């Protein structure tokens, strides 16, 4: 059993890259095939043994909380129509684990969003999963956040998920400098963290992606963290201070990460999910083949 029992999922961002869809629908509620993006993230946390999920929510996004509650009218109507299995499926989303919600009163950045969960988490280590980063684990492996929880339990050090990207792409990410542990290919000793290094200054191809396990000592650091890149309170800046004070490790997780908060990434996530389902694989492959043939023939 991991020491990490609670996960913070910040979902209070404005989702401007998906306007106008996100004018009234939270980005995290956009479906990947037939499930909202956020459900994949929450299911990852639950399957790693997380007991309580804390959403950091914004005022226009209560549909996220509603999705993890019973929908009495819908479920009752489905039952009366003899669709008990579908009603049970809907209830199961609410039954799987405890969900708590706190508010980030203004979208001032990821560091600010995580800090809003402090009154609920208190003096315990916790996981953070970003509400628009999908990580599909290999079939024989723990979910990504479970791999970070295991590394935290083993080392006692804060963990951040790292993914190798082409050097020319690192300016889009938080960048982790340092070196791999010669004795454990999954562990990375971090010597510096830089949020979105400007092109030409890149020193590493290790990008920070949306999974973290953090000790409670991060709270006092977040309180002191001022505005960083983009005028936002950046989690990366607080993590770099944590690294200086007590060390921080990268976890080169196993799994395929897709940024569902980006248009191409969102389409990619939909195709990966569809191709992983028995009932959709063949029709979607046929559709893709005919679309490619048509486009090439133009």
Binding site for ligand UTP (CB under 6 A): 10-17, 27-28, 56, 104, 107-110, 112-113, 130-132, 261
Residue 24 C-beta: closest distance to ligand UTP, Å: 14
| Residues 67, 70, 76: CA angle, nearest 5 degrees | 125
Q: Please, what is the minimum distance in Å from the beta carbon of residue 257 to ligand UTP? A: 13
Nearest Cα residue to 246 out of 202, 216, 211, 274: 216
CB of 182 to ligand UTP, least distance (A): 33
CB 276 to ligand UTP: min, Å: 23
**Minimum CB distance to ligand UTP smaller for 101 or for 187:** 101
Rank residues 108 and 284 by Cβ distance to ligand UTP and give the closer one.
108
Nearer Cβ to ligand UTP, position 88 or 169?
169
Report the residue closest to ligand UTP, judged by CB: 13
CB nearer to ligand UTP: pick between 17 and 83: 17
Closer CB to ligand UTP, 78 or 165, in the complex: 165
Closer to ligand UTP at the Cβ: 263 or 281? 263
Please provide the distance, in angstroms rounded to a whole number, between the alpha carbons at the two ends of the chain: 57
For residue 109, the minimal CB distance to ligand UTP (Å) is: 5
Beta-carbon contacts of 2 under 8 Å, excluding residues fewer than 6 positions away, are 48, 49, 146, 149, 150, 152, 153
Report the C-alpha gap between 132 and 11 in whole angstroms: 8
CB of 145 to ligand UTP, least distance (A): 15
User: In the bound complex, what is the minimum distance in angstroms from residue 105's beta carbon to ligand UTP?
Assistant: 10
Residue (10 or 125) nearer to ligand UTP, CB: 10
Nearest CB to ligand UTP, comparing residues 78 and 218:
218
Closest distance to ligand UTP from the beta carbon of 95 (Å): 24
């Amino acid at each position: 059993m991991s020491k990490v029992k609670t996960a913070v999922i910040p979902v209070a961002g404005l989702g401007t890259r998906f306007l106008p869809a996100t004018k009234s629908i939270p980005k995290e509620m956009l479906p990947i095939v037939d499930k909202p993006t956020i459900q994949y993230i929450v299911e990852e946390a639950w399957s790693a043994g997380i007991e309580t999920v804390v959403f950091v929510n914004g005022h226009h996004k209560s549909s996220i909380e509603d999705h993890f509650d019973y929908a009495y009218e819908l479920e009752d109507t489905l039952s009366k129509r003899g669709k008990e299995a579908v009603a049970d499926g809907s209830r199961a989303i609410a039954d799987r684990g405890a969900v708590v919600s706190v508010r980030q009163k203004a979208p001032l950045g990821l560091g600010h969003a995580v800090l809003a969960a402090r009154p609920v988490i208190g003096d315990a280590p916790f996981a953070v999963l970003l509400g628009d980063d999908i990580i599909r684990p290999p079939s024989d492996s723990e979910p990504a956040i479970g791999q970070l929880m295991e590394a935290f339990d083993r080392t006692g050090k804060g963990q951040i998920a790292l993914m190798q990207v082409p050097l020319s792409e690192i300016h889009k990410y938080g960048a982790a400098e340092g070196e791999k542990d010669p004795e454990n290919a999954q562990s990375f000793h971090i010597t510096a963290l830089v949020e979105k290094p400007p092109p030409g200054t890149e020193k590493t191809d290790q990008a920070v992606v949306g999974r973290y396990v953090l000790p409670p000592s991060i709270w006092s650091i977040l309180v002191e963290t001022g505005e960083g890149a983009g005028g936002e309170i950046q989690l990366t800046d607080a993590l770099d201070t944590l690294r200086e004070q007590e060390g921080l490790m990268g976890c080169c997780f196993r799994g395929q990460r897709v940024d569902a908060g980006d248009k191409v990434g969102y389409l990619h996530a939909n195709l990966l999910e569809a191709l992983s389902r028995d009932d959709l694989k063949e029709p979607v492959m046929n559709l893709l083949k005919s679309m490619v043939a048509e486009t090439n023939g133009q």
